[in-house]
Structure 1
Amino acid sequence: MARTYRAVITYKELAERIQESTGIRTRTLLHNWIGTVLSKVVREAHRRGDPQLTALVVRTDDGMVGEGYKEVLEVAGEPPAESVPEREQHAARARLECYRRFGAALPADGGVPALAPLYQAAVERRRVRPESPPRICPRCSMQLPSTGACDSCDQR
């Protein structure tokens, strides 16, 4: 994943690859063991001075890094992320470092930190929906319900 610009891998895909490459299979639920594996990756990457490969691992349902990503910040001696968007921006910067370090083909500008595609799509959907101002009754200045008829004065 680190060799492909903007690529990510889900926890489920990573778990399958780990089991295939090691030949060790488990029926233990993914969330009961993958965190331990990724914790070791966090600490080893920090020890080596490598970028945090765990930033490439995202949840299937929303494209975000998991709660365990806070360990990346702890190990690096950084303050915890104040919000989900802050955590995701940190992970985006870490992913870019991974792509650069591990030889991904980058655009001419060197690439930019990018949110995981699924999460980016959710962010864009929220931005696209501008809220329209509520309709107001011209007679009594009350907000109109969805029927368009004022409950206070029956004005339409």
Structure 2
Amino acid sequence: MALNIFKQEGKPALTAAVVNQETGLCGSGLGKWRAEAGLPTHGEVDQDELAARRRVQCYRRYAPKVPEDAVKFHTPIYFEDQERRRRRVEREAQQVA
């Protein structure tokens, strides 16, 4: 129901603003929202990258005084996670070679 209202009114997904307290990454609510909206829940688009983009949309819509040039941002934990993934891929590539 809420999804339909947000879609009909063109409002951004507030679930993008939810960050898991333990991991610092986007919460499971965004994946549920994407599934209900008929969007892929994984794959080409990094879930946290999408969440960062949607958060900016939420801030622009609901928060007062958001600068026009505001850009998406990630939590420090996101960057740490991306670095771990990059190193793992490099290690796996070296093992194959």
TM-score, normalisation: structure 2: 0.63
Q: Taking structure 1 as reference, are residues 123 and 106 closer, same or farther at Cα in structure 2, changes over 3 Å only?
A: farther
Matched ranges for 1:90-101 at <5 A? 90-101=50-61
Output the CA distance in 1 between the equivalents of 2:22 and 2:28.
Answer: 14
| Cα root mean square deviation, aligned | 3.0
Whose helix proportion is higher, 1 or 2? Answer: 2
Matched ranges for 1:1-150 at <5 A? 41-82=2-43, 86-107=46-67, 110-115=69-74, 117-120=75-78, 122-123=80-81, 126=84
Q: Which runs of 5+ in 2 are unaligned?
A: 88-97
Which residue identity is paired with 2:19?
Answer: V
Select the structure of larger CA radius of gyration.
1
- Secondary structure of 1:99 counterpart: helix
Q: Which runs of 5+ in 1 are unaligned?
A: 1-39, 130-156
Deviations 1:82-109 (A, max 9, x none): 17x700011111111111112443345x
